Amino acid sequence: MQSDNGARVAGAITAGLGATFFSITVFNAVENVLVRGDSATVSVLESLLPGAAELVLVGLGVWIYRCEDCSHVAHYVLVSMAAGATSILAIALWEAFFQQYQRGFQPLYILTSMLAAALVISALLGLYLSKYAHERRLSRRLHDRFSALFENVPDPVFGVVSRDGARRVELVNPAFEAALDVDEADVAGRPLAEFAVEHDDGTGSLPRETPTDADWVAASLTFRTRGGQREFVRLDSPLVEEPDAERDVDVYIDVTDDRQREERLDVLRRVIRHNLRNKLTIISGNADSLRDRDVEQCGELLEHLSVAADDLVSLSERAYEIEAAVASDDVETRPQPVGSLVEDAVESVRVRHPHADYEVACRPDLFASGTSALGMAIEALVENAVTHNDADAPAVRVTAALDDDGFVDVAVTDDGPGIDPATRELITGERDHDQLGHLDGLGLWLAQWAATDADGRLSFEDCETGTTVHLRVPRADPPDA
């Protein structure tokens, strides 16, 4: 605000000087005609160029006064005007002072000296303008490169401008528009606080490693629109800015997928550690018991050891598959043939667990929008229904149909003991992931992640015989043949 006042003062001074000089020129022309009897045409022609210059000075002053961001222009204009006027006036007075001691007055010498001063001032101004033009070309080139980079960054990015204490969204890139289902015109120019909540909990960090992580990452926020919400971090340049800068630009980059991937890998590691600890405890306990028994009495303990070892092998294989799916950058959804996915999932589980009874009811022409992990998630739900059931012949029914909301509902029903409320709360996010101690399965996590990536949802339903897990994902049209 103080700089705006300075620009107005400079503009008023410039316009005032121009108006004063123009008044003098007009007065001189009128005096020449009315008092001295000079020709009106000659007086007007004499006043034409000075008057035009003085009117330009008035216009320049008005422009500076009304300009909203011209404090730097006003400074240079005033300095240049003062330097030019002082130089010409000083030379004119210098010549006039010494000519009074000479024979006669020689205005031609004064004119040539003033012309020399004007040429020096013009040359210096030309040097400055050439340098300014060169810097503008460089600035424009950098701006164009930044714009091209900003527009083509694959991650959602947006910029915020801070001025006079107000922070407004300045621009967003196409990836931002696609991820949050919003147009730039809907958010540009509006206060950041309308969409975002900044976090002061120390979450301002990039999940990925960068050489400038400590210097550039400043804070994080959650940006919400009608199309959803995403997590961003603000990147600040480590370069020292001018203390009187009026306009700061902050760039925010999307880290939602990175944080989600880190969170999922953390869950995967913790569940694997829990399973390893349990199975190794069984192996260790049975191995100790073998030492105190005869060979004829070791059959049951060896069976326990074999089962625990097989479970560890199965766990490692499943963990490898899930880790590959979680760590993959391929989260693009595409039409998936639900009937084929269900049939393949049930057949794969049947091979490993032939003692269970399986029933499938699925429309063969049904397609769903999902990632490459959708089939793995369905298989995990079917296997969960079998392995967490103590019955001699567990019964599993898998159906796929459209629900009332137009989503494809893959339902897996079992006749087991059910899923406890604490596990359901962990999977759906109602309980913090720090409380993973009692959850030893990866299947439900995989199903939840597959549903989330497809903009779907995972839910649980108690039924008369057991539990039904619903994996709902958006319906998709069949791909073009």
What's the pLDDT tens digit per position in 289-342? 666 666 555 666 667 677 777 767 776 766 666 666 666 655 678 899 999 999
Digit-coded pLDDT (tens) for 207-253: 444 444 445 555 778 888 776 778 888 876 544 444 444 456 778 88
The confidence score (pLDDT) of residue 79 equals 72
Distance, CA of 441 to CA of 443 (rounded, Å): 6
What is the phi/psi pair of residue 462, to 5°?
-80, 135
Rounded Cα distance, 210 and 328, in Å = 19
pLDDT recorded at residue 202: 47
d(CA 338, CA 201) in angstroms, rounded, equals: 42
Please give the pLDDT value at position 244: 47
Question: Is the pLDDT score of 117 beyond 90?
Answer: no
Tell me what pLDDT residue 381 has.
92
Q: What percentage of the chain has pLDDT greater than the value 90? A: 13
Predicted local confidence at residue 72, as pLDDT: 63
- Token readout for 341 is 């996915």
Let me know: does 468 contact 412? Beta carbons within 8 Å. yes
pLDDT of residue 211: 43
Please report which confidence band the pLDDT of residue 368 belongs to, taking 50, 70 and 90 as the band edges: very high
Q: How confident is the model at residue 119 (pLDDT cuts 50, 70, 90)?
A: low
Q: Residue 426 — very low, low, confident or very high, per pLDDT cuts 50/70/90? A: confident
Residue, of 177 and 199, whose pLDDT is higher:
177
Q: Which residue has the higher pLDDT, 425 or 187?
A: 187
pLDDT (0 to 100) of residue 187: 87
Quote the mean pLDDT of the chain. 77
Non-local CB neighbours of 157 within 8 Å, separated by 6+ positions: 150, 172, 173, 175, 176, 251, 252, 253, 254
Is the confidence at residue 18, as pLDDT, over 90?
Answer: no
Residue 204 reports pLDDT greater than 60: no
Confidence of residue 468 (pLDDT cuts 50, 70, 90): very high
Q: Is 181 helix (H, G, I), strand (E, B) or coil?
A: coil
Report the pLDDT value the prediction gives residue 207, as an integer from 0 to 100: 47
The b-or-e profile of 433-446 (16+ CB within 10 A means b, else e) is eeebeebbbbbbbb
Instruction: Please give the model's pTM, rounded to 2 decimal places.
Output: 0.56
- What average pLDDT does the segment 169-186 reach? 86
Q: Is the pLDDT of residue 159 over 80?
A: yes
Report percent pLDDT > 70 for the chain: 72
